């Protein structure tokens, strides 16, 4: 295994690049839009703007995968072996991948040799909620662009790793950070922000990918106005922004949360960015009666102006930290002889939703976890039918006013599915959903907003629901809501899924295994232990006539930090930091 340290901000190994003979070409808007079907590269997060994470490659298939072998492994090195949640990108024989603590590496895909390394100089006061992770870069032209834990966008030269431009997106001292991979849409870099546990105000912003100049900003808490920049001037663009206090009491909208911390997807058919928003702040829902728009929602945003076209709120008046950030994936299906332009999402609240992606209308919803206590079901519009007995109690009605009544809520706040992206197979027409079965005891407490301080107003403990498993990979039919097959895993599943035309589905486990399953039956076809837990998202591409597959290995993320009794179950797992690359032997 190759290991490269480096204490400098950039280590540019130009000599190595010239020796390797790699000729680099710029990434275009067309490359990104066609990414799903151009198998020689991976130039978008989600392996296509819709985020289906499906590849038409089939050299590695259910019959041949048993012969797949690792060909190289690259170590991120140093002492920064924390959660590695990145999805790699591949272009012209170079892999671009982020690592913990806001690092970026360029790696030769033939040899696994490092070409260059960039380390962001992070200040001491960063406040990441859920580990020092990063989920990947964006590629555009000759730039490699990513977000940092101190809430900056940084554009690097793809050949050297040197900084081309850098922009401050938000103030890390207020609790903001960036962990998601940015999107590129028509020359614009689209980014969200993290920090919902600190009373920040979520937002989506667009920057010129070449220059870094801001183009528009769209806050995601109702009452805050959006802006566009014309001729260098800031112009109010409050369309669909809502009115202050309309679904929020008093001034709580000023620190309302709704962080856009997972990035999003893009649908070329409707020219819509699909962005999820996080929990309202604080967690104590008794302090903020109302739906608290646009928290815990999916938003369709015009990428040219930042206008909100439509919204669908999965958990109005969220009192369990169920968020709404999970990816909304576009897909088409036939019903009554007609094509339905749909989009699906598996929410932290335990329900999976199928929406009309042209207008946000609710088509159907159904549980994808084994138990849900907080709601009795969904009404005809997809709004949850609350069981108020399972809402954490109001501390102000107790004798001492310090702690409200505790409830057992299922799923736990880490979600029936958290950030880890699901995949959609165009062959089976199934979604492959990495889910978890866990419960929490949760109660409310008094709290007040203070800039840069935790703003929860709640306490909790998380516990497994089964002795045999927490994680469950499920094949779900979006047309019927039925589970087709499942694979149960002892530890939680916290990494992304990849589906291929080879009738395979790949996912990694905290126990360190890369596992491959028959996409139709769920039969385990392959496994290989990488030495540390996998919480990244696998990719596949074609190079020199062969199919390659890569995944990051490095245990971490939110589970060991927030997981309570669950964290005890996985405390023996080793941290790491590496990329493993596999292929079939040459015949």
Q: What is the pLDDT of residues 379-413, one digit of tens each?
A: 999 999 999 999 999 999 998 889 999 999 999 99
DSSP 3-state assignment of 450?
A: coil
Q: In this prediction, what percent of the chain has a pLDDT beyond 70?
A: 95
Q: Between residues 30 and 19, which one has the greater pLDDT?
A: 30
Q: Which residue has the tokens 């010129």?
A: 208
- Provide the residue ranges of all domains of the chain, joining segments of one domain with +: 2-583
pLDDT class for 325, splitting at 50, 70, 90?
very high
Q: Which residue has the tokens 């994680």?
A: 471
Q: What is the pLDDT of residues 429-457, one digit of tens each?
A: 999 999 999 999 999 999 999 999 999 99
pLDDT class for 240, splitting at 50, 70, 90?
low
Distance of CA 349 to the CA centre of its chain: 16
* Class of the CATH-defined domain 2-583: mainly beta
Strand order across the 2-3 sheet = 2-3, 69-75, 578-583, 546-553, 539-543
Judge whether residue 242 has pLDDT over 90.
no
Judge whether residue 243 has pLDDT over 80.
no
User: What pLDDT score was predicted for residue 238?
Assistant: 67
Q: Between residues 240 and 8, which one has the greater pLDDT?
A: 240
Q: Which of 122-136, 238-252, 560-574 has the highest average model confidence (pLDDT)?
A: 122-136
Q: Report, as an integer, the average pLDDT of 100-122.
A: 97
pLDDT class for 21, splitting at 50, 70, 90?
very low
User: What pLDDT score was predicted for residue 10?
Assistant: 47
Judge whether residue 564 has pLDDT over 90.
no
Of the listed ranges 20-24, 48-52, 276-280, 411-415, the least confidently predicted one is: 20-24
Query: For the chain, what is the mean pLDDT?
Result: 93
Total count of residues recorded for the chain? 587
User: What pLDDT score was predicted for residue 569?
Assistant: 87
564 vs 182: CA distance, rounded Å: 31
Q: What is the pLDDT of residues 337-382, one digit of tens each?
A: 999 999 999 999 999 999 999 999 999 999 999 999 999 999 999 9
Structure tokens at 555: 């245990």
User: What pLDDT score was predicted for residue 239?
Assistant: 59
DSSP string spanning 200-240? -B-EEEEEETTT--EEEEEESSTTPPPEEEETTEEEE--TT
Q: Report, as an integer, the average pLDDT of 237-247.
A: 73
Structure tokens at 389: 């007995």
Residue from 46, 569, 558 nearest 278 by CA:
558
Q: Report, as an integer, the average pLDDT of 264-280.
A: 97
Q: Report, as an integer, the average pLDDT of 311-323.
A: 97
Q: Report, as an integer, the average pLDDT of 175-196.
A: 97
pLDDT class for 587, splitting at 50, 70, 90?
confident
Contact assessment for residue 489 and residue 464, using Cβ atoms and an 8 Å cutoff = no
Structure tokens at 233: 């001037």
Q: Report, as an integer, the average pLDDT of 172-180.
A: 96
User: What pLDDT score was predicted for residue 7?
Assistant: 36
Catalytic residues: 321
Q: In this prediction, what percent of the chain has a pLDDT beyond 90?
A: 87
Q: Which residue has the tokens 């959903």?
A: 433
Q: Report, as an integer, the average pLDDT of 84-111.
A: 97
Of the listed ranges 129-133, 386-390, 499-503, the least confidently predicted one is: 129-133
Of the listed ranges 78-82, 236-240, 384-388, 410-414, the least confidently predicted one is: 236-240
pLDDT class for 13, splitting at 50, 70, 90?
very low
Angle at 452 between CA 447 and CA 453, to 5 degrees: 35
Judge whether residue 427 has pLDDT over 50.
yes
**Which residues in 425-438 are b (16+ Cβ under 10 Å) and which e?**
beebebbbbbbbbb
Judge whether residue 536 has pLDDT over 70.
yes
Report the DSSP beta bridge partners of residue 99.
Answer: 103
Judge whether residue 515 has pLDDT over 70.
yes
pTM, full prediction: 0.95
């Amino acid at each position: 295994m190759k290991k490269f340290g480096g204490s400098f901000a950039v280590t540019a190994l130009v000599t190595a690049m010239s020796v390797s003979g790699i000729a680099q070409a710029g990434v275009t808007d067309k490359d990104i839009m066609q990414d799903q079907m151009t198998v020689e590269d991976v130039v978008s997060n989600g392996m296509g703007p819709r985020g289906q994470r499906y590849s038409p490659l089939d050299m590695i298939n259910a019959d041949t995968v048993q012969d797949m072998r690792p060909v190289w492994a690259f170590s991120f090195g140093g002492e920064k072996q924390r959660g590695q949640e990145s999805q790699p990108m591949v272009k012209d024989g170079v892999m671009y991948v982020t690592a913990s603590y806001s690092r970026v590496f360029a790696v030769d895909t033939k040899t696994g040799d490092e070409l260059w390394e960039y380390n962001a100089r992070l200040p001491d006061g960063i406040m990441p909620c859920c580990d020092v992770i990063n989920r990947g870069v964006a590629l555009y032209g000759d730039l490699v662009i990513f977000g940092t834990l101190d809430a900056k966008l940084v554009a690097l030269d793809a050949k050297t790793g040197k900084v081309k431009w850098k922009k401050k997106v938000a103030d890390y001292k207020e609790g903001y950070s960036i962990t998601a991979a940015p999107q590129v849409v028509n020359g614009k870099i689209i980014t969200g922000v993290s920090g919902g546990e600190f009373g920040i105000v979520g937002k989506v912003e667009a920057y010129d990918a070449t220059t870094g100049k801001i183009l528009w900003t769209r806050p995601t808490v109702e009452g805050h106005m959006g802006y566009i920049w014309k001729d260098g001037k800031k112009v109010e663009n409050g369309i669909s922004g809502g009115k202050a206090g309309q679904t929020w009491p008093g001034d709580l909208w000023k620190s309302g949360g709704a962080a856009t911390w997972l990035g999003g997807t893009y649908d070329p058919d409707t020219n819509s960015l699909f962005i999820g928003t996080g929990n309202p702040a604080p967690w104590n829902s008794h302090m903020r009666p109302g739906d608290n728009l646009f928290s815990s929602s999916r938003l369709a945003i015009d990428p040219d102006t930042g206008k909100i076209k439509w919204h669908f709120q999965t958990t109005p008046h969220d009192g369990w930290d169920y968020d709404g950030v999970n990816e909304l994936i576009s897909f088409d299906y036939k019903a009554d002889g007609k094509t339905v332009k749909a989009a699906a999402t598996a929410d932290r609240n335990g329900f999976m939703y199928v929406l009309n992606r042209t207008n946000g209308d609710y088509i159907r919803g159904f549980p994808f976890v084994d138990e849900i206590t907080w709601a009795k079901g969904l009404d005809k519009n997809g709004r949850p039918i609350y069981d108020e007995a399972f809402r954490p109690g109001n501390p102000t009605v107790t004798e001492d006013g310090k702690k409200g009544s505790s409830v057992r809520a299922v799923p736990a706040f880490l979600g029936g599915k958290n950030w880890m992206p699901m995949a959609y197979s165009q062959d089976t027409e199934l979604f492959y959903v990495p889910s978890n079965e866990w419960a929490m005891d949760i109660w409310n407490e008094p709290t007040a907003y203070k800039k840069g301080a935790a703003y929860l107003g709640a306490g909790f403990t998380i516990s497994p629901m089964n002795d045999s498993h927490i994680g469950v990979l499920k094949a779900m039919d979006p047309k019927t809501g039925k589970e087709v097959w499942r694979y149960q895993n002892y530890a939680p599943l916290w990494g992304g899924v990849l589906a291929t035309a080879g009738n395979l589905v790949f996912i990694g486990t905290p126990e360190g295994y890369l596992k491959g399953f028959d996409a139709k039956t769920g039969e385990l076809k392959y496994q290989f232990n990488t030495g540390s837990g996998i919480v990244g998202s696998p990719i596949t591409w074609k190079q020199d006539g062969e199919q390659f597959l890569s995944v990051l290995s490095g245990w971490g993320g939110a589970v060991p930090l927030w997981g309570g009794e669950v964290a005890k179950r996985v405390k023996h797992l080793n941290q790491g930091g590496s990329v493993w690359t596999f292929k079939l032997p040459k015949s």
